[in-house]
Structure 1
Amino acid sequence: MNLLIAIAKTIAAAVTRSASLTAEAAHSWADAGNEIFLIVANRRAARPPDPAHPLGHGREAYVWSLFAAVGLFVAGGAFSITHGVGELRDPTPAEDFLVGYVVLAVSFVLEAVSFLQSLRQARADARLMQRDVIEHVLATSDPTLRAVFAEDAAALIGLVLAGAGLAAHQVTGSAVPDAIGSILVGVLLVVVAVVLINRNRRFLVGEEADPRVRAAVLRSLLAMPEIDRVTYLRLEVVGPRMISIVGDVDLAGDDAESRIAVRLRALEAKISRSPAVAGAVFSLSAPDEPAL
């Protein structure tokens, strides 16, 4: 869909010579390229663990999503701003406005369909996490959901800005509003790209899981008959919807050291069977450590 929209906008930009449409064409080409990065991100992150990567390859999703965000920044935002500034210095009269309006209208419908699909997925995930949609999109450990949602929302806003710039150009006969529309589209893309870059950076360097996830894991551990207390718990996001668990627990009963070691390994294996857990490591709590 993004590829078809990019081709249509490029043709319309060439026909109308509109700065705003040129910016939107760059935006759609950046989105189309980013989809390739996101496909790679999903596939590489889904690879199973191996001896060199015992927690799996989940963080690769953030690497490739980071590339996509940088592409949006450069190919979309920086290009649109630069082109708009160039048009302010050396204005180019636009023509064949109807072609531009038709392409923008069709693009809006197609982008709206894509956005509604990502919105439905985001709402379903947000309900599970007891968040509102925007909070979930910003906080989710799934970088592709965040990227698609943000890019689709930016695409709809960008189309409105481009349409307003094109209409102002037609009404006033001046290329200045059109150039300003190109700059505004660029600024919008830069803001979105910076947010996406920052979120991927935070997950790459290691981020503690959401407090609600931590509370749910703690409740689950305390509900297990083999655990009396939990005195330490570290949950780190290691991929989309994947965490690693490190904790100190007080096991029920008073077994010998060799038996305790076996029980701890059994506990780790039991918890690691969850599809959301990349790995679990537990140690014994000291008698004087307070329970969480």
Structure 2
Amino acid sequence: MDLGASKKTILVAIAANFAIAITKFIVASIGGSSAMLSEGIHSLVDTGNELLLLLGLRRSKKPADESHPFGYGQELYFWTLIVAIGIFAIGGGMSIYEGITHIQNPSPLENPNWNYLVLGFAAIVEGYSWMVALQEFRAQKGEKDFWQAVFDSKDPTVLTVLFEDSAALLGLFVAFWGVFLGHTFDNPYFDGVASIIIGIILATVAFVLGTESKGLLVGEGADPQTVNNIRVLTTSDPAVEAVQRLLTLHFGPKEILLNLDIQFCDNLSTEEVASAVERIEKLIRDRYPEIKNIFIEAKSLSMGRHSEKIAESVEK
């Protein structure tokens, strides 16, 4: 995962959503469309959310210190959770409220052509931002299918922008039909219903993002394939009898802690065990540079099952 690419994805989304939000609010004030006002709120919330993601990305790069010996990588997960709450409470809640208010107190649409114009402009700009996020997500997911990559992803920034932009494009589609049907049938209720649907879309996206962020904050290990590969690399060393325990934990998209409990072969000296530990660490770090900290507990039968802990925490 390239944090530079994630930052680019966020910056593109911020520029796009801010420009779209201003345009939508202007047209909503001219045309009186509830769906367009909801879309303006949606774009403004997205802009604020992406600024929070940018803040989280920046704070997650702070170096480790005494109070945070494993660094600040999980700051990114915290701010992603705040973004999910913002989408649900502000974006979804206000859109649904606006739609219900419009149904209770309907007002005729004026100048629908302006609505169509801004929806077309927003679709082009939002579509570009969506394509940037999708390309970065495809680069990350590799050979995995889409939903498996979503569930396995440890980078919430690109995932959040992709989902936000997907919801935005779907919201634009709903807003178009709300304005079109409301104008065609001279029925403002269509516009209010469209606003409610937009709110439901945002709430659904917020739920998915919130669930993913919660899992990362609680503590997720490396994906099963990575864990299995580490086990294979470790047992491939001739000095290793078996891997008794293998624990991993993500402290950020590119920061993993690894704890290994290794049973070494019989009759190995302490020096031979230490040499094997160095070989194993180098092999793992060469294959997985995102594993910043490795702690190894080495056991040898020749030690009478006495446990010699060889722990190392070296960050490259």
Task: Report the Cα offset of residue 258 of structure 1.
Answer: 7.0
RMSD: 2.2
Alignment of 1:159-170 (within 5 A): 159-170=172-183
Q: Please, which runs of 5 or more residues in structure 2 have no aligned partner?
A: 1-15, 306-316
Task: Report the Cα offset of residue 145 of structure 1.
Answer: 1.2
Is residue 103 of structure 2 the alignment partner of residue 88 of structure 1?
A: yes
**1:280 paired residue number:** 294
Is the CA contact (8 Å cut-off) linking 1:55 and 1:278 kept in structure 2? no
Counterpart selection for 1:26 from 24, 41, 50: 41
- Alpha-carbon separation, structure 1, partners of 2:284 and 2:67: 21
- The amino acid that maps onto 1:177 is F
Counterpart selection for 1:64 from 79, 86, 89: 79
- Report the CA distance shift for 1:53/1:151 in structure 2 as closer, same or farther (over 3 A): same
Is the CA contact (8 Å cut-off) linking 2:268 and 2:300 kept in structure 1? no
Alignment of 1:240-279 (within 5 A): 240-251=253-264, 254-257=267-270, 260=273, 264=277, 268=281, 271=284, 274-279=288-293
**2:314 paired residue number:** none
Q: Hey, which bits of structure 1, 4+ residues long, moved more than 6 A?
A: none
- Alpha-carbon separation, structure 1, partners of 2:270 and 2:238: 19
- The amino acid that maps onto 1:16 is G
**2:207 paired residue number:** 194
- Give the structure-1-normalised TM-score: 0.90
- SS at the partner of 2:250? strand
Is residue 131 of structure 2 the alignment partner of residue 116 of structure 1?
A: yes
Question: 1:6-64, CA deviations, whole angstroms, 9 ceiling, x for partnerless residues?
Answer: 10011011111101101100100000001111101111112222232222211111011
- Alpha-carbon separation, structure 2, partners of 1:181 and 1:14: 17
- SS at the partner of 2:26? helix
Task: Report the Cα offset of residue 242 of structure 1.
Answer: 2.7
Moved more, 81-90 or 223-232: 223-232
- Give the structure-2-normalised TM-score: 0.84
Task: Report the Cα offset of residue 3 of structure 1.
Answer: 0.5
Moved more, 59-68 or 255-264: 255-264
Task: Report the Cα offset of residue 216 of structure 1.
Answer: 2.1
Question: 1:100-153, CA deviations, whole angstroms, 9 ceiling, x for partnerless residues?
Answer: 0010011001111111111111111111xx311232133200010110110011
Counterpart selection for 1:133 from 146, 151, 154: 146
- Report the CA distance shift for 1:261/1:51 in structure 2 as closer, same or farther (over 3 A): farther
- SS at the partner of 2:48? helix
Task: Report the Cα offset of residue 256 of structure 1.
Answer: 3.7
Is residue 166 of structure 2 the alignment partner of residue 153 of structure 1?
A: yes
**1:207 paired residue number:** 220
- The amino acid that maps onto 2:108 is P
Is the CA contact (8 Å cut-off) linking 2:239 and 2:273 kept in structure 1? no
- SS at the partner of 2:193? helix
- Alpha-carbon separation, structure 1, partners of 2:276 and 2:67: 26
- The amino acid that maps onto 1:202 is G
- SS at the partner of 1:91? coil
**2:192 paired residue number:** 179
Moved more, 151-160 or 44-53: 44-53
What percent of counterpart residues are identical? Answer: 31
Would you say how many aligned residue pairs link Structure 1 and Structure 2?
286
- Alpha-carbon separation, structure 2, partners of 1:265 and 1:224: 11
- Report the CA distance shift for 1:102/1:34 in structure 2 as closer, same or farther (over 3 A): same
Q: Please, which runs of 5 or more residues in structure 1 have no aligned partner?
A: none
- SS at the partner of 2:129? helix
- The amino acid that maps onto 2:261 is D
Question: 1:229-263, CA deviations, whole angstroms, 9 ceiling, x for partnerless residues?
Answer: 21211112221133211121123563444764676
- Report the CA distance shift for 1:92/1:139 in structure 2 as closer, same or farther (over 3 A): farther
